[in-house]
């Protein structure tokens, strides 16, 4: 574990609640951290850098009060930064992360050594999301502390590679923290991620269906009703392939022909920006097939812990029979 963060062993579960566009806010992050898992949010969920700093102060203040009152150490929190020329706020938001010493920075759409060095300057860690080996190699060269392997079936901008293969391929050359994303909705799934060789599980869709998320109730109910085959993988919405709830695509009047295109489709003013599109066209992963309720974060983490423990104990009993 020398190349892995020490806080992994201090978590109540080896899990990260993924930063979800328009869904993750301070309330969700704070409750995750209080319950012993890493809570994260995208900086761009706040419309301005000033508002983003207000969220950072709120999260830090509430977690400090929690630790003082309970004597229990909260899990670290993280911020997702879009490292791409199309993000005009990157420099300002990164400066705020440095100012407030955000423990974990999750970078997307570009692994840049200058950003990694800036975060390392105050002792922070950088986890970078990838969907294929080539992206992982570039991120490794940039010096990131962990790789988020976004495998087939994950919500949002997902890849198409089987998680077992992706983990095995990356571990051949990367010995730092491996975080696995894709269809992880139960404690058994978290245990399976660790069995495959990951250090942490990355969970998005499951945390949409929490009381503390910013998702509208209709969104949560659509996830409950969805099976794996109700998730549509398309580039038509943003120009980059992502997984969406088919029912929300249909409700927006998007046709099967539109969805087959490999480029962003012009849907008119109603959906002319990614923010507008994702507000009414809802993302989810295939893990929605095992989600049938809406829980508080505390209730969900408790449930996940029980499932995780039971799954590990079942695996241990197999040693009585195998190998022969």
Can you give the pLDDT at residue 213? Answer: 98
Residue 286 lies in a domain: no
pLDDT digit string, tens, across residues 96-114: 999 999 999 999 988 899 9
Report percent pLDDT > 90 for the chain: 85
Number of domains in the chain: 2
Structure token digits, residue 57: 């102060």
Can you give the pLDDT at residue 1? Answer: 45
Domain extent at residue 273: 217-280
Exposed, middle or buried: residue 188 (CB in 10 Å: 0-12, 13-18, 19+)?
Answer: middle
φ/ψ of 24, rounded to 5, equals: -90, 130
Asked if residue 14 and residue 64 are part of one domain, the reply reads yes
Residues 42, 274: contact at Cβ < 8 Å? Answer: no
Asked if residue 234 and residue 208 are part of one domain, the reply reads no
Pairing of strands 15-17, 200-203: parallel
Asked if residue 38 and residue 162 are part of one domain, the reply reads yes
Residue 36 lies in a domain: yes
Asked if residue 234 and residue 307 are part of one domain, the reply reads no
Asked if residue 40 and residue 21 are part of one domain, the reply reads yes
Residue 85 lies in a domain: yes
DSSP E strand boundaries for the chain: 15-17, 38-42, 77-82, 104-108, 125-130, 146-150, 177-181, 200-203, 231-234, 242-245
Asked if residue 129 and residue 265 are part of one domain, the reply reads no
Task: Give the pLDDT band of residue 279 (cuts 50, 70, 90).
Answer: confident
Residue 4 lies in a domain: no
- What does the mean pLDDT of the chain come to? 94
Task: Give the pLDDT band of residue 264 (cuts 50, 70, 90).
Answer: confident
> Directed axis angle between helix 90-99 and helix 49-70, to 10°?
20
In the chain, the largest separation of any two C-alpha atoms, in whole Å, equals 64
Kindly report whether the global pTM for this prediction surpasses the value 0.85.
yes
Residue 31 lies in a domain: yes
């Amino acid at each position: 574990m020398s190349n892995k963060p020490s806080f992994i062993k201090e978590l109540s579960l080896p899990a990260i609640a993924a930063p979800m566009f328009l869904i993750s806010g301070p309330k969700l992050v704070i409750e995750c951290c209080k319950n012993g898992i890493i809570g994260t949010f995208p900086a761009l969920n706040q419309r301005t850098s000033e508002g983003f700093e207000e969220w950072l102060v709120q999260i830090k203040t509430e977690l400090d009060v929690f630790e003082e009152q309970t004597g229990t150490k909260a899990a670290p929190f993280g911020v997702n930064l879009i490292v791409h020329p199309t993000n005009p706020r990157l420099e300002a938001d990164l400066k705020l992360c440095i100012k407030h010493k955000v423990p974990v920075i999750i970078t997307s759409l570009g692994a840049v050594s200058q950003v990694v060095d800036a975060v390392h300057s105050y002792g922070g860690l950088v986890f970078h999301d990838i969907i294929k080996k080539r992206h992982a190699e570039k991120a490794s060269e940039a010096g990131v502390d962990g790789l988020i392997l976004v495998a087939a079936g994950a919500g949002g901008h997902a890849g198409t590679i089987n998680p077992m293969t992706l983990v095995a391929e990356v571990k051949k050359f990367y010995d730092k923290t491996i975080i696995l994303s894709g269809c992880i909705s139960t404690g058994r799934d978290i245990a399976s991620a660790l069995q495959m060789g990951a250090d942490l599980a990355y969970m998005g869709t499951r945390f949409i269906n929490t009381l503390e998320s910013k998702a509208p109730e209709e969104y949560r109910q659509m996830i409950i009703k969805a099976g794996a085959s109700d998730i549509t993988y398309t580039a038509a919405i943003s120009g980059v392939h992502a997984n969406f709830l088919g029912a929300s695509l249909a409700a927006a009047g998007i046709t099967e022909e539109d969805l087959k295109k490999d480029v962003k489709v012009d849907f008119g003013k109603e959906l002319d920006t990614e923010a507008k599109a994702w507000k009414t066209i809802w993302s989810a992963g295939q893990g929605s097939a095992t989600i049938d309720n809406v829980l508080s974060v505390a209730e969900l983490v408790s449930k996940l812990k029980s499932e995780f423990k039971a799954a590990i104990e079942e695996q241990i009993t197999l040693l009585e029979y195998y190998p022969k």
